[in-house]
Amino acid sequence: METDPHAEPLDSRSIDELSMIDQGGTTVRIVPSAGMCSVSMEHGGVDRLWLPCSLEEFVRTPRTGGIPLLYPWANRLRGDGFQLPTGRVDLGSIKDLKRDDSGLPIHGLLLRWNDWRIEALKSEPEETAIAATLDWQDHEHLMSAFPVPHRLRVEWSLRGDVLEILTRIDATGEIPVPICFGWHPYLCPGGERPSLHLETPRLQGIRLDDRSLPVRNNGTLVDEDSMDPNGPIGDRVFDDLYRGVRDGDEASITDGSTTVTIRFIEGYRYMQLYSPEGSRYACFEPMTAPAAALSDGSDHPWVQPGSHFTARFSIRITSS
């Protein structure tokens, strides 16, 4: 689909796919019916994002791949209940809630959400930009699981070989909005696992239990000290949580000829690193809060009524 930057916002339910094409040949594809997930980022004729299956199957099932938005919580909750200023929320009756192998709610509510207002912000040789907006309080299903009125807006901009993603939350109601979202980019430079090498900033690991939930001692996150991921992946596997991300920090995966770098521009203070056995990808997940922060009621920002929160990260691809 090609969009007119001067046109009125479009209903995403009438759109199968959006494409952003840079004059240098980098192409990003976004599928509205898959929660506005970026399903492909081609550079040099090769897709540098990973999907677990064909695109047709991916759209039909709530699996993760590409660059999915995990909203309003990233990764797992501790159970079906969490507390908000207006009272306790019970997710037990929510239909089609994605759960992990332990039955815990995981990855939020939008993996296959298809009702967005879409705008083409810019369509120029130097930059292409698209935005999608969701007024949360207009959707009964979303409000039943996360009863907090607010507006969610995501902007994607492609300039050269850099894709930047901005997420903004406006607290449009009378109660504050807990900020616990994240993104889950599956970065795949192209080489096989023995050739892959990771580089990350110096961060503090957080101990996880056998359900991949952060361990707390009297409410405080417990640190894990032996979690340096830098260097060749080799036979190592990762599903680890880190804190201490600073604005401007970068993490990258390379196969020696192509490097995919994520830059935490603003708003993200945590990172989950995920790279399972045998995979050809790594996920440096930008997170505004640790996993289960919504359950724990701590270590996450709040947006007060009338205010907003903004977070940005970018993905850059370079080839030698």
What's the pLDDT tens digit per position in 283-318? 999 999 999 999 999 999 999 999 999 999 999 999
Say yes or no to pLDDT of 10 above 70: no
Amino acid identity for residue 320 in this structure: S
CA distance 79 to 92: 9
Using only the alpha carbons of the chain, give its radius of gyration: 19
Share of the chain above pLDDT 70, in %: 96
The enclosing domain of 73 has a CATH number of 2.70.98.10
- What average pLDDT does the segment 160-181 reach? 98
Number of structural domains found in the chain: 1
- What average pLDDT does the segment 176-190 reach? 99
Q: Which of 121, 5, 113, 111 is nearest to 67 (CA)?
A: 111
Place of tokens 């040949």: 25
- What average pLDDT does the segment 44-56 reach? 95
Greater confidence (4 vs 59) lies with: 59
pLDDT in tens, 110-165: 999 999 999 988 878 788 999 999 999 999 999 999 999 999 999 999 999 999 99
Residue 90 lies in a domain: no
Record the tokens describing residue 146, joined without a space: 């996360």
Residue 62, preceding bond cis, omega within 30 degrees? no
Amino acid identity for residue 279 in this structure: S
Residue 139 lies in a domain: no
Residue 59 lies in a domain: yes
Give the per-residue pLDDT at 2: 40
CA distance 136 to 146: 9
Residues of the domain holding 130: 10-78+105-134+150-319
* Sequence-ordered strand ranges (E) for 255-307: 258-266, 270-275, 283-287, 302-303
User: Could you say which DSSP state residue 60 is in?
Assistant: H
Which of these ranges, 43-47, 51-55, 120-124, 130-134, has the smallest mean pLDDT? 120-124
Residue 39 lies in a domain: yes
Say yes or no to pLDDT of 242 above 60: yes
Residue 160 lies in a domain: yes
- What average pLDDT does the segment 28-49 reach? 95
Give the per-residue pLDDT at 131: 95
Residue 86 lies in a domain: no
Instruction: State the average pLDDT for the chain.
Output: 94
CA distance 287 to 268: 5
CA distance 121 to 159: 13
Share of the chain above pLDDT 90, in %: 87
- What average pLDDT does the segment 235-262 reach? 98
Spatial contact of 283 and 242, defined as CB atoms under 8 Å apart: no
Q: Which of 248, 258, 263, 306 is nearest to 281 (CA)?
A: 258
The count of other CB atoms within 10 Å of the CB of residue 69 is 24
Residue 5 lies in a domain: no
User: Could you say which DSSP state residue 208 is in?
Assistant: B
Residue 168 lies in a domain: yes
Specify the 3-state DSSP secondary structure of 155. Answer: strand
